[in-house]
């Protein structure tokens, strides 16, 4: 695909501003009615989905050229997809998020990259991770864990820790807990350790699509060799890459987020949560597990017009609306914990506010990322919850760092941490 293929998506924008709000039916207050961090932080219309579609059209028509502001318009956005959900409430055929991503691809392919991203992409090429760490220490997080190393052994299930869990010393305990939990529940599980590679999903979202393909090939090869049937990951970004993006490359393994796997094991009675955890928590839906975590639907079709002028696709083109993301499994797990109270925020599920860390914003615009996280923490605090819980290490890192700066009292957990407390 090329940006030109999205021209109709650009001209179809009705400039209605739905993309700036959570689905309007769901608005519960003026304070938490907004959906898009980018327009809220940056202000100008160009920093909304609608604005970006018009900028893409302007670029296609040669009305504008490349400059630093254009790069900001393209990259100062988490690509969290909230705009896309709201937009598609009424605009069935628009592919807003895809168009924004295609703009990134175009700029990267034209050599117009964001300088702040360069070191990270270079590191991905050289060290196969997105967190500026050496490849050699990727497996250190699992030191001493009694778990199969699938670089040498075979197992039905692989636990893919992802870059953040592999290198973030403060969070690594969560990944260790998850592996132990699954192993103790009788799952034939292993890890790749040092040989694990980045999923490539973050690079893809930044506009580096070739990098995704390279990572996908590397991971698929390793999983095939280890005779893996199921990939379990505790990282929402990896989940999205495997579930949605790798499928486009033809991967057919079962992809499961660890909260889904734990939910299954609890239902089967293989994990028993008995200890009281007297906490009131609120759950933050990671964008890549929730609205962006819908399964990929293979499709090829042709366009035609019916009833004179309605453009349609035959067979029907899949619509990614956020309806079928992973929302219930993490909540089910939390609800299984004795003594724990789940207090929901106003913006949840397909219309959740982003943590700020996605789309290259954390690396390119750290102040914006922190502002976005702070907004979410404010929302969390209005629920009366003592802690915000998520299911993605990128969200958790974002919140932990922001809580520290804010000198806040909200604790940050992963669902797995709470499960461990209840064992």
Partner 1 sequence: MALSTDAYRALEDIVGPKYISQDLAVMDSYAYQWLAETVRPGQSKFMPRPEAALLPGSTREVQAIVKICNKYKVKFKAYSSGWYFYGAPFSEGVIQLDMRRLDRVLEIDEKNMFAVVEPYVNGGVLQAETMKRGLNCTVTGAGASSSTLVGATCYHGSGGTSIYTGELRENLLGAEWVMPNGEILRTGSLGSGCGWFCAEGPGPSMRGIVRGALGARGGLGVYTKCAVKLSAWPGPAEYPIEGTVPAYRSPMPPNFRAYTVAFKDWDSLFESYYRLYDNEICYYAHRQWTMLGANLGPAFWMLYQDPTKSLDDIEEFARKREVKQLTKEMRYSYQLVLVGMSQRDIEYKEKVLEQILKETGGWKVKKWLEAEMEQFSLLYLLRLGKKNLNFVYTGGWVGNYMQSGAPDFVKKYEPLAEETTGKFQATGLLVDCGADSMMGCVGSIAGGGQCGLEQFGFYDVADKKSTAAAIKWMKYCIKEEAKHNIPPGKEGMYLAVGKTHEELQRDLARQPAIHTWQRKIKQAFDPNNLGDRLYPTLDEK
User: How far apart are CB 56 and partner 1 at their closest, in Å?
Assistant: 10
Residue 259 in the binding site for partner 1 (CB under 8 A): no
Cα 20 from Cα 50, distance rounded (Å): 9
Residue 8 in the binding site for partner 1 (CB under 8 A): yes
Residue 98 in the binding site for partner 1 (CB under 8 A): no
Tell which positions 347-386 bind partner 1, by CB under 8 A.
Answer: 350
* Lookup: tokens for 231: 């990939």
Interacting span for partner 1 (CB under 8 A) from 64-72, 166-174, 245-253, 369-377: 64-72
Per-residue x/- track, 139-178, partner 1 (CB under 8 A):
----------------------------------------
Interacting span for partner 1 (CB under 8 A) from 159-167, 306-314, 332-340, 410-418: 306-314
Residue with tokens 């042709």: 302
Cα 273 from Cα 266, distance rounded (Å): 8
Beta-sheet pairing, 254-257 with 230-233: parallel
**If we measure between CA atoms, which residue out of 203, 231, 233 comes closest to residue 215?**
203
Selected from 321, 341, 381, 406, the binder of partner 1 by CB under 8 A is 321
Residue 15 in the binding site for partner 1 (CB under 8 A): yes
**If we measure between CA atoms, which residue out of 405, 421, 401, 402 comes closest to residue 171?**
401
**If we measure between CA atoms, which residue out of 201, 211, 203, 205 comes closest to residue 237?**
201
Residue 201 in the binding site for partner 1 (CB under 8 A): no
Selected from 1, 5, 14, 384, the binder of partner 1 by CB under 8 A is 14
User: How far apart are CB 97 and partner 1 at their closest, in Å?
Assistant: 15
Q: Which one, 45 or 381, has the nearer CB to partner 1?
A: 45
Residue 5 in the binding site for partner 1 (CB under 8 A): no
- Number of chain residues interacting with partner 1 (CB under 8 A): 69
Q: Which one, 212 or 370, has the nearer CB to partner 1?
A: 370
Residue 343 in the binding site for partner 1 (CB under 8 A): no
Contact 355, 372 (CB under 8 A): yes
User: How far apart are CB 412 and partner 1 at their closest, in Å?
Assistant: 28
Those residues whose C-beta lies under 8 Å from the C-beta of residue 341, and which sit 6 or more positions away, are 279, 280, 281
Burial profile 160-195: b = 16 or more Cβ within 10 angstroms, e = fewer: bbbbbbbbbeebbebbbbbbbbbbebebebbbbbeb
Q: What is the dihedral of CA 133, 139, 140, 142, to 10 degrees?
A: 140
Contact 189, 414 (CB under 8 A): no
**If we measure between CA atoms, which residue out of 354, 365, 364, 421 comes closest to residue 394?**
354
Selected from 125, 316, 367, 405, the binder of partner 1 by CB under 8 A is 316
Consecutive H or E run containing 112: none
Selected from 36, 46, 83, 337, the binder of partner 1 by CB under 8 A is 46
- Site residues for partner 1 per CB under 8 A: 7-8, 10-18, 21, 23-30, 33, 39, 43-46, 48, 50-55, 57-59, 63-64, 67, 69-70, 73, 85, 88-94, 305-319, 321-323, 350
């Amino acid at each position: 695909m090329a940006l030109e293929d999205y021209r109709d998506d650009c001209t179809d924008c009705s400039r209605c501003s739905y993309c700036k709000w959570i689905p309007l039916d769901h608005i519960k207050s003026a304070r938490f009615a907004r959906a898009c961090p980018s327009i809220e932080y940056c202000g100008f219309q160009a920093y909304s989905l609608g604005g970006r579609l018009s900028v893409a059209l302007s670029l296609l028509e040669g009305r504008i050229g490349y400059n630093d502001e254009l790069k900001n318009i393209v990259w100062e956005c988490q690509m969290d997809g909230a705009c896309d959900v709201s937009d598609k409430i009424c605009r069935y055929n628009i592919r807003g998020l895809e168009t924004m991503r295609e703009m990134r691809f175009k700029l990267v392919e034209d050599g117009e990259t964001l300088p702040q991203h360069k070191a990270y992409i270079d590191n991905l090429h050289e060290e196969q991770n997105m967190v500026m760490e050496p490849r050699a220490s990727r497996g250190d997080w699992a030191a001493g864990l009694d778990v199969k190393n699938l670089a040498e052994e075979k197992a039905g299930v692989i636990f893919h820790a992802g870059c953040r869990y592999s290198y973030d010393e403060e969070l690594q305990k969560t990944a260790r807990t998850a592996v132990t939990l699954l192993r103790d529940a009788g799952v034939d599980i292993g890890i790749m350790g040092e040989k694990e590679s980045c999923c490539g999903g973050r690079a893809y979202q930044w506009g580096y699509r070739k990098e995704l393909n390279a990572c996908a090939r590397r991971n698929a090869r390793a999983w095939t060799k280890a005779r893996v049937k199921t990939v379990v990951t505790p990282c929402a970004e990896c989940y999205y890459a495997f579930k949605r993006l790798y499928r486009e490359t033809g991967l057919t393994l079962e992809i499961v987020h660890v909260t889904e796997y734990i939910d299954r094991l609890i239902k089967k009675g293989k994990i028993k949560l008995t200890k009281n955890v007297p906490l009131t928590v609120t759950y933050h839906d990671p964008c890549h597990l929730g609205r962006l975590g819908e399964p990929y639907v293979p499709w090829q079709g042709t366009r035609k017009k019916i009833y004179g002028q309605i453009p349609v696709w035959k067979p029907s083109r899949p619509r990614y609306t956020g309806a079928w993301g992973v929302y219930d499994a993490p909540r089910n797990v939390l609800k299984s914990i004795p003594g724990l109270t789940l207090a929901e925020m106003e913006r949840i599920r397909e219309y959740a506010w982003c943590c700020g860390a996605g789309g290259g914003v954390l690396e390119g615009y750290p102040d914006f990322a922190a502002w976005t996280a702070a907004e979410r923490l404010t929302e969390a605090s209005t629920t009366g919850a003592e802690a915000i819980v998520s299911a993605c290490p990128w969200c958790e890192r974002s919140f932990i760092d922001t809580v520290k700066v804010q000198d806040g009292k909200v604790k940050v957990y992963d669902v797995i941490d709470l499960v461990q407390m209840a064992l």
